[in-house]
Amino acid sequence: MEIRPLAPAVGAIVDGVDLAHLADADLKQIIAAWDAHNALLFRGQSLDNDGFIAFARRFGELEHAPIMENGRTPVPGYPEIYVVSNVKGPDGKPIGSLGAGEAVWHTDMSYLDNPPDASMLFARELPPTGGDTWLAGMCAAYDGLPPDLAKAVAGKRIKHDGTFNSGGYKRAGVEVKDDPRESVGAYHPIVCAHPRTGRSALYLGRRRLAYVEGLSLDASEALLDALWAHATRPEYCFAHRWQVGDLLVWDNRATLHRRDPFDETARRIMHRTQIKGATAPIAA
């Protein structure tokens, strides 16, 4: 097994490992790399649904997939698997979430009080081009905060909106409000301590309908714009171009991700599992 960083601020590639037959000693090294890099890429994996779930369980207890935009559970018999896909089923409705457009920067399910610690995305079918997934390292982004921003966020919390997903689709059963103070969501500290490593990380969730607690709406918008501009600077990012059989796992406590759009007439099928949050996000 060989482990190499993908970018200075986030991600490492783990070569020479078959995740369907993973030895405990290899898992130990993988978890150490996970703590150091906050996202890991494994290539050329062949895993069926059971194999994917079995590997994901080695990172922790699994969360059931969120209900899709159409109100259905994506994979019958596998409530843990979330499908990200633009492909339409026999009923003419998408078999998965997020369509073919851009998925804007976010971290998964932070509108919950106890968001998932990690998400794993496994590429089953891909368009010829487009649909790259970007990661941004929030430990490095925290370390690089200019002093005025560091001061502005100290001790503050953000409300993480639960109305829309990153593809811009409304979640099933939620009412749309224009004022972020009235919409569904959860408050979390802006600067969180990583429960495994103790490192401080920016925890931003998603930009749309976010709100910084205790500020006027205008002041909140201005601070959020400055924070997001900083956190997504190129030096904190890595763009992943997928191959079928790639498995990418990211730490939702220490990274953001987004996806490039792709041709809506092409097919893209990704399977995702989410590792349950061991604790609510902890203030640094």
Residues that bind ligand OGA (CB under 6 A): 84, 98, 103, 108, 119, 121, 133, 166, 257, 259, 270, 272
Question: Of 78, 127, 134, whose CA–CA distance to 105 is shortest?
Answer: 134
Catalytic residue check, 206: no
Residue 22 CB, shortest distance to ligand OGA, in Å, is: 22
Sign, Cα dihedral of 81, 82, 87, 91: positive
Catalytic residue check, 257: yes
Question: Which one is catalytic: 37, 106, 206, 240?
Answer: 106
DSSP 136: E
Question: Which one is catalytic: 257, 259, 268, 271?
Answer: 257
CA distance 4 to 134: 18
Query: What tokens appear for 19 in the block?
Result: 């995740």
Which window, 45-53, 100-108, 200-208, 215-223, contacts Mn ion (CB under 5 A)? Answer: 100-108
* DSSP code string of 144-195: T--HHHHHHHTT-EEEEE-SB-TTSPBPTT----SSTTTSSEEEEESEEE-T
Is 251 a binder of Mn ion (CB under 5 A)? no
Is 69 a binder of Mn ion (CB under 5 A)? no
For Mn ion, which is the closer residue by CB, 45 or 255? 255
Which window, 71-79, 106-114, 138-146, 148-156, contacts Mn ion (CB under 5 A)? Answer: 106-114
Question: Of 104, 92, 84, 93, whose CA–CA distance to 167 is shortest?
Answer: 104
Residue 69 CB, shortest distance to ligand OGA, in Å, is: 13
Residue nearest Mn ion, CB atom distance:
108
CA distance 225 to 185: 19
Residue 75 CB, shortest distance to ligand OGA, in Å, is: 14
Residue 170 CB, shortest distance to ligand OGA, in Å, is: 16
Is 63 a binder of Mn ion (CB under 5 A)? no
Is 117 a binder of Mn ion (CB under 5 A)? no
Catalytic residue check, 271: no
Catalytic residue check, 37: no
DSSP 1: -
Enumerate the H helices of the chain as residue ranges.
Answer: 24-37, 49-57, 138-143, 147-153, 217-231
User: What are the residues binding Mn ion (CB under 5 A)?
Assistant: 108
Task: Give catalytic residue positions.
Answer: 106, 108, 257, 272
